[in-house]
Protein backbone atom coordinates (compact mmCIF):
# COMPACT_ATOMS: atom_id res chain seq x y z
CA UNK A 1 0.00 0.00 0.00
CA UNK A 2 1.07 3.59 -0.54
CA UNK A 3 0.21 7.19 0.17
CA UNK A 4 -3.58 6.94 0.42
CA UNK A 5 -3.53 4.39 3.23
CA UNK A 6 -0.76 6.25 5.03
CA UNK A 7 -2.77 9.46 5.20
CA UNK A 8 -3.76 10.27 8.82
CA UNK A 9 -7.26 11.32 7.72
CA UNK A 10 -7.75 8.03 5.87
CA UNK A 11 -6.55 6.06 8.90
CA UNK A 12 -8.90 7.99 11.20
CA UNK A 13 -11.95 7.21 9.06
CA UNK A 14 -14.37 4.31 9.40
CA UNK A 15 -15.69 3.42 5.94
CA UNK A 16 -19.26 2.15 6.15
CA UNK A 17 -20.39 0.31 3.05
CA UNK A 18 -24.18 0.55 2.82
CA UNK A 19 -26.88 -0.84 0.55
CA UNK A 20 -30.67 -0.66 0.53
CA UNK A 21 -33.28 -2.66 -1.28
CA UNK A 22 -36.49 -0.75 -1.87
CA UNK A 23 -39.90 -0.69 -3.46
CA UNK A 24 -40.96 2.35 -5.47
CA UNK A 25 -44.71 3.03 -5.37
CA UNK A 26 -46.25 5.26 -7.99
CA UNK A 27 -46.38 8.85 -6.83
CA UNK A 28 -44.06 8.31 -3.86
CA UNK A 29 -40.31 8.13 -3.28
CA UNK A 30 -38.66 4.74 -2.90
CA UNK A 31 -39.41 2.99 0.39
CA UNK A 32 -36.71 0.83 2.02
CA UNK A 33 -37.39 -2.86 2.62
CA UNK A 34 -33.86 -3.97 3.53
CA UNK A 35 -30.61 -2.37 4.65
CA UNK A 36 -27.14 -3.78 5.24
CA UNK A 37 -23.93 -2.14 6.41
CA UNK A 38 -20.32 -3.27 6.73
CA UNK A 39 -17.96 -0.98 8.65
CA UNK A 40 -14.26 -1.16 7.79
CA UNK A 41 -11.08 0.47 9.08
CA UNK A 42 -7.55 0.31 7.75
CA UNK A 43 -5.27 -0.49 10.68
CA UNK A 44 -1.67 -1.69 10.85
CA UNK A 45 -1.52 -2.35 7.12
CA UNK A 46 -4.72 -4.38 6.81
CA UNK A 47 -8.48 -3.93 6.65
CA UNK A 48 -10.50 -4.80 9.73
CA UNK A 49 -14.26 -5.28 9.99
CA UNK A 50 -15.46 -3.24 12.96
CA UNK A 51 -19.21 -3.71 12.57
CA UNK A 52 -21.92 -5.12 10.35
CA UNK A 53 -25.65 -5.61 10.28
CA UNK A 54 -28.53 -6.46 7.97
CA UNK A 55 -32.24 -5.93 8.56
CA UNK A 56 -35.49 -6.28 6.68
CA UNK A 57 -38.03 -3.48 6.94
CA UNK A 58 -41.79 -3.48 6.58
CA UNK A 59 -42.82 -0.87 3.99
CA UNK A 60 -45.90 1.30 4.42
CA UNK A 61 -49.19 0.04 3.03
CA UNK A 62 -48.94 2.36 0.00
CA UNK A 63 -45.65 0.71 -1.03
CA UNK A 64 -46.23 -3.05 -1.28
CA UNK A 65 -43.57 -5.47 -2.45
CA UNK A 66 -44.50 -6.05 -6.08
CA UNK A 67 -43.81 -9.13 -8.22
CA UNK A 68 -41.08 -7.12 -9.97
CA UNK A 69 -39.34 -6.43 -6.65
CA UNK A 70 -39.64 -10.09 -5.69
CA UNK A 71 -38.19 -11.13 -9.05
CA UNK A 72 -35.18 -8.87 -8.54
CA UNK A 73 -34.48 -9.36 -4.83
CA UNK A 74 -36.19 -12.62 -3.90
CA UNK A 75 -38.00 -10.81 -1.09
CA UNK A 76 -41.72 -11.52 -0.73
CA UNK A 77 -44.53 -9.49 0.84
CA UNK A 78 -44.77 -12.14 3.57
CA UNK A 79 -41.10 -11.78 4.51
CA UNK A 80 -41.11 -8.02 4.86
CA UNK A 81 -44.61 -8.00 6.37
CA UNK A 82 -43.20 -9.61 9.53
CA UNK A 83 -40.30 -7.15 9.80
CA UNK A 84 -40.12 -3.98 11.94
CA UNK A 85 -40.75 -0.66 10.23
CA UNK A 86 -38.07 1.75 9.00
CA UNK A 87 -38.38 3.94 12.10
CA UNK A 88 -37.29 1.08 14.37
CA UNK A 89 -34.61 -0.34 12.08
CA UNK A 90 -33.00 2.93 11.07
CA UNK A 91 -33.11 4.38 14.58
CA UNK A 92 -31.23 1.31 15.83
CA UNK A 93 -28.69 1.65 13.03
CA UNK A 94 -28.30 5.36 13.74
CA UNK A 95 -27.33 4.67 17.35
CA UNK A 96 -24.30 2.71 16.17
CA UNK A 97 -22.58 5.86 14.89
CA UNK A 98 -20.55 7.29 17.74
CA UNK A 99 -20.35 11.05 18.20
CA UNK A 100 -16.94 12.54 17.51
CA UNK A 101 -15.75 9.78 15.19
CA UNK A 102 -15.09 10.20 11.48
CA UNK A 103 -17.20 8.16 9.07
CA UNK A 104 -17.74 8.02 5.33
CA UNK A 105 -20.47 5.96 3.73
CA UNK A 106 -19.48 3.91 0.69
CA UNK A 107 -21.96 2.84 -1.97
CA UNK A 108 -22.22 1.83 -5.59
CA UNK A 109 -24.23 4.61 -7.27
CA UNK A 110 -24.46 6.52 -4.00
CA UNK A 111 -27.31 8.76 -5.17
CA UNK A 112 -29.76 5.91 -4.61
CA UNK A 113 -28.69 5.34 -1.01
CA UNK A 114 -28.37 9.08 -0.38
CA UNK A 115 -31.97 9.73 -1.41
CA UNK A 116 -33.35 6.85 0.65
CA UNK A 117 -31.47 8.03 3.74
CA UNK A 118 -32.50 11.65 3.25
CA UNK A 119 -36.16 10.70 2.97
CA UNK A 120 -35.86 8.72 6.23
CA UNK A 121 -33.72 11.33 8.01
CA UNK A 122 -36.20 11.81 10.86
CA UNK A 123 -35.35 8.27 12.00
CA UNK A 124 -31.58 8.43 11.40
CA UNK A 125 -30.25 11.99 11.83
CA UNK A 126 -26.64 10.93 12.43
CA UNK A 127 -26.62 8.66 9.39
CA UNK A 128 -28.28 11.37 7.29
CA UNK A 129 -25.38 13.75 7.94
CA UNK A 130 -22.67 11.35 6.74
CA UNK A 131 -21.11 12.07 3.36
CA UNK A 132 -20.49 9.37 0.75
CA UNK A 133 -17.82 7.88 -1.41
CA UNK A 134 -19.28 6.53 -4.65
CA UNK A 135 -17.46 3.55 -6.16
CA UNK A 136 -18.59 4.47 -9.69
CA UNK A 137 -16.56 7.71 -10.11
CA UNK A 138 -13.75 6.08 -8.11
CA UNK A 139 -13.66 3.23 -10.65
CA UNK A 140 -14.03 5.58 -13.61
CA UNK A 141 -10.98 7.50 -12.45
CA UNK A 142 -8.80 4.41 -12.00
CA UNK A 143 -10.04 2.13 -14.80
CA UNK A 144 -11.60 4.39 -17.45
CA UNK A 145 -11.39 1.80 -20.22
CA UNK A 146 -14.21 -0.43 -19.03
CA UNK A 147 -17.40 -0.51 -21.17
CA UNK A 148 -19.31 0.68 -18.07
CA UNK A 149 -18.77 0.82 -14.33
CA UNK A 150 -21.81 -1.08 -13.10
CA UNK A 151 -21.30 -3.35 -10.12
CA UNK A 152 -21.43 -6.58 -12.13
CA UNK A 153 -18.84 -5.19 -14.56
CA UNK A 154 -16.53 -4.29 -11.68
CA UNK A 155 -16.99 -7.73 -10.13
CA UNK A 156 -15.92 -9.33 -13.39
CA UNK A 157 -12.97 -6.95 -13.79
CA UNK A 158 -11.64 -7.76 -10.32
CA UNK A 159 -12.52 -11.48 -10.55
CA UNK A 160 -14.84 -11.19 -7.56
CA UNK A 161 -17.33 -14.05 -7.36
CA UNK A 162 -20.87 -13.06 -8.32
CA UNK A 163 -23.04 -13.82 -5.27
CA UNK A 164 -25.98 -16.18 -5.64
CA UNK A 165 -28.22 -13.71 -3.80
CA UNK A 166 -27.21 -10.64 -5.78
CA UNK A 167 -29.67 -7.78 -5.14
CA UNK A 168 -30.03 -8.68 -1.49
CA UNK A 169 -28.56 -5.95 0.69
CA UNK A 170 -26.02 -8.06 2.60
CA UNK A 171 -24.67 -9.69 -0.55
CA UNK A 172 -24.42 -6.40 -2.39
CA UNK A 173 -22.67 -4.75 0.56
CA UNK A 174 -20.15 -7.58 0.67
CA UNK A 175 -19.21 -7.36 -3.00
CA UNK A 176 -19.28 -3.55 -3.02
CA UNK A 177 -16.84 -3.64 -0.11
CA UNK A 178 -14.59 -6.00 -2.07
CA UNK A 179 -14.68 -3.62 -5.04
CA UNK A 180 -13.90 -0.66 -2.80
CA UNK A 181 -10.89 -2.41 -1.28
CA UNK A 182 -9.62 -3.33 -4.74
CA UNK A 183 -9.96 0.28 -5.84
CA UNK A 184 -8.11 1.56 -2.78
CA UNK A 185 -5.34 -0.94 -3.45
CA UNK A 186 -5.12 0.14 -7.09
CA UNK A 187 -5.02 3.81 -6.09
CA UNK A 188 -2.17 3.08 -3.70
CA UNK A 189 -0.20 1.13 -6.26
CA UNK A 190 -0.27 3.78 -8.98
CA UNK A 191 -0.05 6.75 -6.61
CA UNK A 192 -2.86 8.66 -8.32
CA UNK A 193 -4.57 9.58 -5.05
CA UNK A 194 -2.21 10.69 -2.33
CA UNK A 195 -4.68 11.23 0.49
CA UNK A 196 -8.32 11.06 1.55
CA UNK A 197 -8.99 14.62 0.38
CA UNK A 198 -7.94 13.65 -3.14
CA UNK A 199 -10.24 10.61 -3.02
CA UNK A 200 -13.16 12.72 -1.81
CA UNK A 201 -12.54 15.20 -4.62
CA UNK A 202 -12.84 12.37 -7.16
CA UNK A 203 -15.55 10.19 -5.63
CA UNK A 204 -17.15 12.16 -2.78
CA UNK A 205 -20.85 12.98 -2.56
CA UNK A 206 -22.11 15.45 0.03
CA UNK A 207 -25.10 14.29 2.07
CA UNK A 208 -28.20 16.34 1.34
CA UNK A 209 -28.42 17.27 5.02
CA UNK A 210 -24.96 18.85 4.75
CA UNK A 211 -25.79 21.01 1.77
CA UNK A 212 -26.45 24.71 2.39
CA UNK A 213 -30.09 25.69 2.36
CA UNK A 214 -31.09 27.45 -0.85
CA UNK A 215 -33.13 30.58 -0.37
CA UNK A 216 -35.85 31.69 -2.76
CA UNK A 217 -34.80 33.45 -5.92
CA UNK A 218 -36.27 36.74 -4.72
CA UNK A 219 -35.39 36.56 -1.03
CA UNK A 220 -33.99 39.82 0.31
pLDDT tens sequence across 41-68: 999 999 999 999 999 999 999 999 999 9
CB 139 within 8 A of CB 183: yes
| pTM score | 0.94
pLDDT score, position 220: 40
Q: Which domains does the chain have, with CATH numbers?
A: 4-205 (3.30.420.10)
> Which tens digits make up the pLDDT trace of 7-33?
999 999 999 999 999 999 999 999 999
pLDDT for position 2? 59
Q: What is the pLDDT of residues 26-38, one digit of tens each?
A: 999 999 999 999 9
Give the model's confidence band at 190: pLDDT under 50 very low, under 70 low, under 90 confident, else very high: confident
Q: What's the order of all strands across the beta sheet hosting 31-43?
A: 46-56, 31-43, 13-23, 102-107, 132-134, 204-205
Confidence of residue 218 (pLDDT cuts 50, 70, 90): very low
Round to whole Å and give the CA distance between 218 and 220: 6
Q: What per-residue confidence (pLDDT) applies to 186?
A: 94
Average pLDDT, the chain: 94
Amino acid sequence: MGGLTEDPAFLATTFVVIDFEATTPKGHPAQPIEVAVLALRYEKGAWTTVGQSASLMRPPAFAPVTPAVTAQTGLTPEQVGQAPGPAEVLSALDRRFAAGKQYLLVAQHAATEANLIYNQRAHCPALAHLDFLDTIPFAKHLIPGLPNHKLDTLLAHFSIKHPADRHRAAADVDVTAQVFLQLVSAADEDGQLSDLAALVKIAGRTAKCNMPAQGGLFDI
